[in-house]
Amino acid sequence: MKRKLPGFGAVGRAQNIPYVLLGIALLLFPILDSNRSQVDVAAFAGVWVLLALGLNIVVGYAGLLDLGYAAFFAIGSYAFAILASGQFNIHISFWLLLFASAFIAAIFGVLLGAPTLRLRGDYLAIVTLGFGEIVPRVFRNASVFTGGVNGIVGVDQPKLPAVFGWSGNFGFNPIPYYYLILGVIVLSLFLINNLRNSRLGRAWMAIREDEVAAAATGINTVTTKLLAFALGASFSGFAGTYYASKLFIVSPESFSFQAVSVVVLVMVVLGGMGSMRGVIVGALLIYFIQSYVLIQLPGWIVSATSALNIDFLTKLDIGSYVQRSNFLIFGIILAGIMLLRPQGLLPSAQRKVELEGGTSDEAVADLRGSA
């Protein structure tokens, strides 16, 4: 009797339908939406998705706590800006630097990982935090090369051959940038999925579970962790190149610990560490909360208090208080979500079993060695 492979047949095709519909919706979104500002927001959201996917390799797969991820984002952005701008009158093609800056960020990932291989947990987090604080300050102080506080302005933008009456220049049109980041994300998902299912991916997960046991089974923990740092940093370099070309300017204030490292780590943990779907959902949700909900919330509250027509609430001016308490509200939202879903919004199957089944009667019985 022939056995059908999983993923094929009627059931497999039915499972793929939502992804096909989602892909069609993403491709048609700029065409169906006449408001280009929303397309621009979606293009910027893709940067955060790419950053979260890269950090998920380090934190979600290898289990290495990295609090300096903003450094690689800055390295990728400045590498592109220096080599494709009027700063030194060097204008290398964007398409070449898209991969070159990822390679440069990967090299710095190895340089960060090499001296920290003996560290674990909190100690590793402190070292990576220091690296993340050092890099933006180096770029700020090396004004001869990086423009200092003012940054590098007039970064080159991507160009394609002219087709169908389009000049090929991206300019400030968000539609080609949207399709570009969509293509980069699809390519990244393909690469990360293959990495996760490869021998290297299984080695990362073994180190995450128990590094001593992984080393005892013959895994080279030094090389494996270095590759995690390097590959995670390379995706940040991808995002940095895209971000610099789209924003047209690179400045050190864009790569602070609070603005990038913490936010991306929250996206990974909230979405579900080790789950690509969860990380994407977490990145989009956090970006939506920060770029829309927190900005619109004061106006919503003012409208609600006006509709209630209560003098006491009107005199309190709650909208101004809310506007000054964005981080407090953001923290409350995050705490509420994590209390309801401690394993993440869309956790990987393995981590879900660990968190939900780790304290069950069966699991405890297994640990005790009883039936």
Residue 44, Cβ neighbours under 10 Å: how many?
A: 18
The tens digit of pLDDT for each residue in 317-367 reads 676 777 777 788 888 888 888 888 888 888 877 766 666 655 454 444 444
Q: Is residue 54 part of a domain?
A: yes
What pLDDT sits at residue 327? 81
> What integer pLDDT is reported at residue 276 of this predicted model?
92
Question: What was the pLDDT predicted at 339?
Answer: 87
Quick check: 140 and 149 in contact, CB under 8 A?
Answer: yes
97-104 contact pairs (CB < 8 A, 24+): 97/241, 98/184, 98/238, 98/241, 98/242, 101/75, 101/76, 101/77, 101/237, 101/238, 101/240, 101/241, 102/76, 102/234, 102/235, 102/237, 102/238, 102/241, 103/234, 103/237, 104/75, 104/76, 104/79, 104/237
* Residue ranges in the chain whose pLDDT is less than 50: 1-9, 11, 359, 361-371
Residue 3, domain member (yes or no): no
Q: Tell me the per-residue pLDDT of 92-134, one tens digit each, with 9 for 90 and over.
A: 999 999 999 999 999 999 988 888 877 877 888 898 889 999 9
Domain span at residue 348? 9-368
Q: Is residue 1 part of a domain?
A: no
Cα separation, 128 vs 70, whole angstroms:
10
Q: Count Cβ neighbours within 10 Å for each residue of 141-154 and write b for 16 or more, e otherwise.
A: eeeeebbeeebbee
Query: Does 264 fall in a domain?
Result: yes
pLDDT of residue 32: 73
CA dihedral 185, 187, 192, 198 (to 10 degrees): 170
Residue 136 belongs to some domain of the structure: yes
CATH number at residue 35: 1.10.3470
Predicted TM-score (pTM) of this structure: 0.87
Within a domain: 2: no
Question: Side chain identity at 370, as an amino acid letter?
Answer: S
Task: Give me the number of domains the chain comprises.
Answer: 1
Strands annotated E in 93-208: 152-153
What's the pLDDT score for residue 363? 45
pLDDT of residue 15: 62
What pLDDT is stored for residue 198 in this prediction?
93
CB neighbour list of residue 261: distance below 8 Å, 6 or more residues apart: 67, 68, 69, 70, 129, 132
